[in-house]
Structure 1
């Protein structure tokens, strides 16, 4: 299983039209992969849409990447897209596949840069910590990147920003988060985005 996040920077005032195009594009007969999430950034870099898809194997993912790169109308939103980039991920192996559903009105998409060799100990730390952390709020997915600098991304749904703050405070107070030993493998470079599900997002 592979996951891809496509980051689409769209021109001002074109987000709604772009989302409609994305829905048609990923649902086309020739499309490969499964749409899991489509969010509009609310806090962080604005005028961005994030598209999360899963692929069963490298062949499917590569075919779909080629489809996007070889057209002047990627995601059926070429006129709206000012920039686009792609990140390819492998899920932490102990996690189940992403299951579409209604989990929260806001999503946090957080990325940490890792030190060299940080993938295995990070996975182990998360595997040990998630049984207790998961009781406080669900995790959509945690996954490490195959391209670019060593890093991993995790996606969490929350009912609201206030709920997010409360859960994070409780997890720290109870000593269940961050994962023990996990921060030892972080470089300190990190990014967090708060995004809202769009109308086509299976994760809502």
Structure 2
């Protein structure tokens, strides 16, 4: 699986439990697999993010149509005030994203890049990721297929916020991250810390 989407729901305050129940009961549409579900803890609050993998472009497009036409995402529309859906392709050197237990928090970091810089970014990440992932795992790096482009998403799990700060500081100090030449091609950076829902396959 190399095609993914994220569905980020902005939910009414105090309704996370109801949203999670609906998400658990909603099942997987044809050709898709639920990989993760998280709620925001640091950054923009009131967000529930769902990550799904797709077997084909057709499966992704069909699910996008269904989501739009039904207008009741995951059966929890009554608790939702906004929906953001984004499609991604995995950086080609990375293995498919699989369910696993990693730790207490997940950092969703989105970068914008200069025009014509995406391939350079993929190449730079390919060189740097092996050393960086000796410090902590990378769930996935994916470039966006829609919306504001070019941009890409990194998903990093950590045991805690303190562990995240320590590992990132050590990686920078040791010169293994960020990738050599990578920052010069970036235009924006945005990070949100998420906590896995109890039923999330990635947690």
Structure 2 residue 177 is the aligned partner of structure 1 residue 180: no
Where 1:143 maps in the other structure, the secondary structure is: strand
- The answer to whether residue 137 in structure 2 is matched with residue 138 in structure 1 is yes
CA distance in 1, matches of 2:159, 2:34: 22
Stretches of structure 2 that go unaligned for 5 or more consecutive residues are none
Give the TM-score normalised by the residue count of structure 2.
Answer: 0.96
Deviations 1:64-116 (A, max 9, x none): 11111111322110101111010100000000011211101000000011100
Distance 2:197 2:24 in 1: 10
SS in 2 for 1:79: helix
Q: 5+ residue gaps in structure 1? A: none
Return structure 1 stretches of 4+ with deviation > 2 angstroms. none
RMSD (Å) for aligned C-alpha atoms: 1.0
Q: Is the partner of 1:70 in helix, strand or coil? A: helix
Equivalent residue number for residue 154 of structure 1:
154
1:107-126 map, 5 Å: 107-126=106-125
Question: Which residue does 2:48 correspond to in 1?
Answer: 49
Aligned-residue offset at 1:32? 3.6
Look up the SS of the partner of 1:147 in the other structure. coil
SS of aligned partner of 1:5: strand
TM-fit CA distance, 1:148? 1.4
> Over residues 110-132 of structure 1, what are the superposed CA-to-partner deviations in whole Å (9 max), with x where a residue is unaligned?
00111001110000000000111
Superposed displacement of residue 23, structure 1? 1.8
3-state DSSP of counterpart to 2:13: coil
- C-alpha contact 1:112 1:151 (8 A) present in aligned 2: yes
- The reply on whether 1:4 has 2:21 as its aligned counterpart is no
Q: TM-score, normalised by structure 1?
A: 0.96
Q: Which residue of 2 aligns with 1:80?
A: 79
* SS of residue matched to 2:70: coil
Mapped to 1, the partners of 2:71 and 2:106 lie a distance apart of 30
Is the counterpart of residue 104 in structure 1 residue 98 in structure 2?
Answer: no
Q: Is the 8 A contact 1:95 1:141 kept in 2?
A: yes
Counterpart position of 1:191: 190
Shift of 1:31: 4.2
